């Protein structure tokens, strides 16, 4: 049976099961007369199962519903960024990098250093970012990767940080073509020209409005202090 959810500020219609339904329970719209859906989730799990039978039906459903959501989110000035997002003092900070670099480890360091009451994980894999009335906000989504770390909340986006492994902890502003390429590598792309135009336009606005950083870090608690001290202050020129 189709249910209705409030995800990234949008009404989402979805008929799902297993992990997808479980992860989405905190986003469920409970009123008897839900609004007209902004997004209709279409599961493509059967096709994905035929291509990747080793994943299993539940995992294929989880991946395909997330992909369907993202493909339509772009029409609402939004995108998903492969990242771990932490909320600190009412602001969201996204840490992005290829799998295995240590995104989740880094945000866990924030919780270790600042405490779990102050530093909360908004989403540990695919937070949503939306442009609303000239300001970017980060949202939790049900699609949080291997963990169930996600919160149904909307928070102003204060910074995005691309992680690199290193022996020392150093952070610097990150911009230009290299930064654009790095973020493109961590979000879904498409062969559809209209989708690509919308994505690039949204990213251009994102780079103007939100500081983007590059952090070279180890896995010591100092890394959280270095990233927080820089990102919480921001910088004026992000080019």
pLDDT tens for the 239 residues of the chain, in order: 889 999 999 999 999 999 999 999 999 998 888 789 999 998 888 888 999 889 899 999 999 999 999 999 999 999 999 999 999 999 999 999 988 888 999 999 999 999 999 999 999 999 999 999 999 999 999 999 888 999 999 999 999 999 999 999 999 999 889 999 999 999 988 888 999 999 999 999 999 999 999 999 999 999 999 999 999 987 644 43
Phi, psi for residue 23 in degrees, rounded to 5: -65, -30
C-alpha 43/C-alpha 48 separation (Å) is: 10
Q: In this predicted structure, what is the pLDDT of residue 157? A: 98
Q: In this predicted structure, what is the pLDDT of residue 235? A: 61
C-alpha 189/C-alpha 113 separation (Å) is: 35
pTM of the complete model: 0.93
Task: Of 161, 127, 166, give the one whose Cα is nearest residue 144.
Answer: 127
Q: In this predicted structure, what is the pLDDT of residue 188? A: 84
Q: In this predicted structure, what is the pLDDT of residue 237? A: 40
- The answer to whether 86 and 95 are in contact (CB under 8 A) is yes
Please state, in angstroms and as integers, the Cα–Cα distance from residue 197 to each residue in 101, 203, 217, following that order: 29, 10, 34
Token reading at 146: 């291997």
């Amino acid at each position: 049976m189709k249910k209705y959810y409030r995800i990234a500020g949008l009404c989402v219609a979805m008929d799902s099961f297993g992990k997808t339904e479980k992860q989405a329970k905190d986003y469920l719209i409970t009123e008897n007369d839900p609004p007209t859906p902004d997004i209709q989730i279409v599961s493509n799990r059967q096709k994905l199962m035929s291509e990747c039978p080793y994943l299993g039906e539940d995992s294929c459903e989880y991946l395909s519903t997330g992909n369907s959501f993202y493909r339509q989110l772009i029409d609402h000035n939004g995108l998903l960024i492969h990242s771990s997002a932490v909320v600190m003092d009412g602001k969201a900070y996204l840490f992005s990098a290829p799998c295995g670099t240590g995104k989740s480890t880094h945000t866990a360091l924030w919780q270790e250093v600042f405490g779990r009451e102050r530093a909360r994980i908004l989403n540990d894999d695919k937070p949503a970012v939306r442009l609303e009335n000239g300001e970017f906000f980060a949202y939790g989504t049900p699609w949080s990767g291997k963990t169930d770390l996600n919160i149904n909340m909307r928070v102003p986006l204060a910074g995005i940080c691309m992680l690199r492994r290193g022996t020392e902890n150093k952070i610097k502003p990150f911009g230009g073509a290299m930064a654009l390429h790095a973020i493109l590598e961590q979000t879904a792309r498409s062969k559809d020209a209209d989708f690509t135009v919308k994505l690039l336009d949204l990213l251009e606005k994102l780079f103007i409005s939100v500081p983007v950083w590059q952090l070279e870090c180890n896995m010591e608690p100092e890394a959280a202090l270095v990233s927080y001290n820089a990102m919480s202050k921001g910088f004026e020129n992000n080019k």
